[in-house]
Copies of this chain bind each other. A is one copy, B any other.
Amino acid sequence: MTKIGILGGGQLGMMMAEEGLRLGIEVAILGDSAVAPASRFYGYRYRGPLIPQTVRQFVESIDIITFEFENIPLNVLDLLENEFADKCCPNITALRIFQDRLLEKEFLERCGIPVAPYKQIVEVAEIKEFILGSANKEGANKEGAIIKTRRSGYDGKGQIRVFAKDLTSRCSKLTDQCSSLLQNSPCIIEEIVSFDEEVSVIAACGIDNLPVQYPLIKNFHQEGILRESYPDSSLKEYEAQAKEVIAKIATSLNYIGVLTVEFFVTPSGLIANEVAPRVHNSGHWTIEGAHTSQFSQAIRATAGLPLGSSEIIGYPWMGNIIGSVPDKSKILSIPKAALHLYGKEPRAARKLGHITAVSSTLDEQRLIRNKVLSILKDCAI
């Protein structure tokens, strides 16, 4: 019997492990914290930081390895590629590309997938140059640009927004921030895209299957952190384009597993923002709101089992619990609310859980959404 190893002990790893358990597949998780969400899973192993030695020992004990996050240290990726390439699902090439914003954008461009104009930068002077260059282009967003570290950023971390006006005034604090970011990490700068919506598409790619794609998901972010996600049928017109993108990525990389692409919806169509070679926060509603959850698909793809139906059920909606946990009784007094807590200590801007509701009508969805958001707002820190 195939034994799956998951690298990363966060909530994504935990929810994948739960599906493995149900499917009768042995699962082990290697995490880097003794109190990670997945430490509540019987197959959790904590051996200190994720360094090549501990990862080697872990991978030797399992048949196939998959990943709950893409920001894997380069020396661990080297080890996996050199010694365990056959055990990696998805493959290391995909992880290398999607953990580096520069490689990611270059890859997407090679696939002919539209991305926001970007440039690798090393000096503060290049920021002004990029913004001025952008501002002179026809139809460009005059607002400015965003500097992002090539690696390791998530939930808006490692990002600085630079507005055109900041460059005309003497804004030394911002300049210092940019300078410090550039000194510490290789960065890219990209134009801020004027978008109507933020959406994502999640697909599962199996060994012998064409990608199985969930309907397009509408996302709302606040302070760089995802707050709400739900499949929105008004986005149907973009599904064909999203499908094409997923197919191109999957084919180019011989990709097996769950794949998420975040897009901006602009008047000229979808612009790819980020790719995650894994299950994604914007797909948590699939546990209750789809015939097969993204976590089940990830385990099935990794184990070489047939993928399930990605058809949605009713009108699912998901809201994230950020920073502090609301009164459980209040949430559960909404009869259709399903609560998922990750067992993490409260901390500002931290994802502690999520709430899903599958409604029978759009009106009901709106009502439940308003109720949940009002409870979450009251407990926000």
Q: Which residues of A contact B (CB under 8 A)?
A: 18, 21-24, 39-42, 44, 291-292, 296, 300, 305-309, 311, 313-314, 325, 328-329, 332-333, 335-341, 343, 353, 358, 360
Contact indicator B309/A23 (Cβ below 8 Å): no
Find chain B residues with CB under 8 A from A42 CB. Answer: 39-42, 44
Q: Once the chains are docked, how many angstroms separate the CA of A44 from the CA of B21?
A: 15
A24 touches B309 (CB 8 A): no
Counting every copy of the chain, the complex holds 2
Q: Known contacts being A22-B339, A41-B42, A343-B24, is A306 close to B291, with CB within 8 Å?
A: no
Name 15 interchain pairs, CB-CB below 8 A, sorted by A. Answer: A22-B338, A22-B340, A23-B328, A23-B339, A24-B341, A24-B353, A40-B42, A291-B336, A291-B358, A292-B336, A292-B338, A300-B332, A306-B329, A311-B335, A311-B336
A306 vs B311: C-alpha distance when bound (angstroms): 30
The 5 closest A-B pairs by CB, nearest first: A24-B341, A309-B335, A306-B333, A306-B332, A291-B336
Residue from B22, B325, B332 within 8 A of A305 (CB atoms): B332
Q: How far is the CB of A358 from chain B (nearest CB, A)?
A: 7
- Report the separation of the CA atoms of residues A320 and B207 in the bound assembly, to the nearest whole angstrom: 29
Q: Which residues of B contact A292 (CB under 8 A)?
A: 335-336, 338
Chain B residues, CB < 8 A from A332: 23, 300, 305-308
Q: How far is the CA of A336 from the CA of B307 in the complex (A)?
A: 10
- Closest-by-CB residue of B relative to A291 is B336
Query: Which of A21, A39, A314: most chain B Cβ within 10 A?
Result: A21
Q: How far apart sit A72 and B296, CA to CA, in the bound complex (Å)?
A: 35
| Residues of B close to A306: CB separation below 8 A | 329, 332-333
Nearest residue (CB) in B for A333 is B306
Partner of A18, one of B18, B308, B337, B343: B18
- Write the nearest CB–CB distance from A258 to chain B, whole angstroms: 16
The smallest C-beta distance from A214 to any residue of chain B, in angstroms, reads: 13
CB distance from A210 to the nearest CB of B (A): 13
Query: A42-B42, A358-B313 known; A335 and B291 CB under 8 Å?
Result: yes
In the complex, are the beta carbons of B24 and A339 less than 8 A apart?
yes
| A60 and B333 alpha carbons, distance in the complex (Å) | 30
- A307 vs B329: C-alpha distance in the bound complex, in angstroms? 9
Write the nearest CB–CB distance from A175 to chain B, whole angstroms.
44
Minimum CB–CB distance for A316 against chain B, Å:
11
Q: How far is the CA of A132 from the CA of B42 in the complex (A)?
A: 57
CA distance A343 to B296 in the complex (A): 17
A303 CB → nearest B CB, Å? 8
Q: A18 to chain B: which residues have CB within 8 Å?
A: 18
Q: Min CB distance, A332 to chain B, in Å?
A: 4
Expressed in whole angstroms, the minimum distance between the Cβ of A146 and any Cβ of chain B is 35
> Which residue of the partner chain B has the closest CB to A40?
B42
| Distance to closest chain B CB from A341 (angstroms) | 3
Task: Tell me the minimal C-beta distance from A326 to chain B in angstroms.
Answer: 11
Closest Cβ–Cβ distance, residue A355 to chain B (whole Å): 11
Contact of A23 among B39, B314, B341 (CB under 8 A): B341
Contact between chains at A329 and B305 (CB < 8 Å): yes
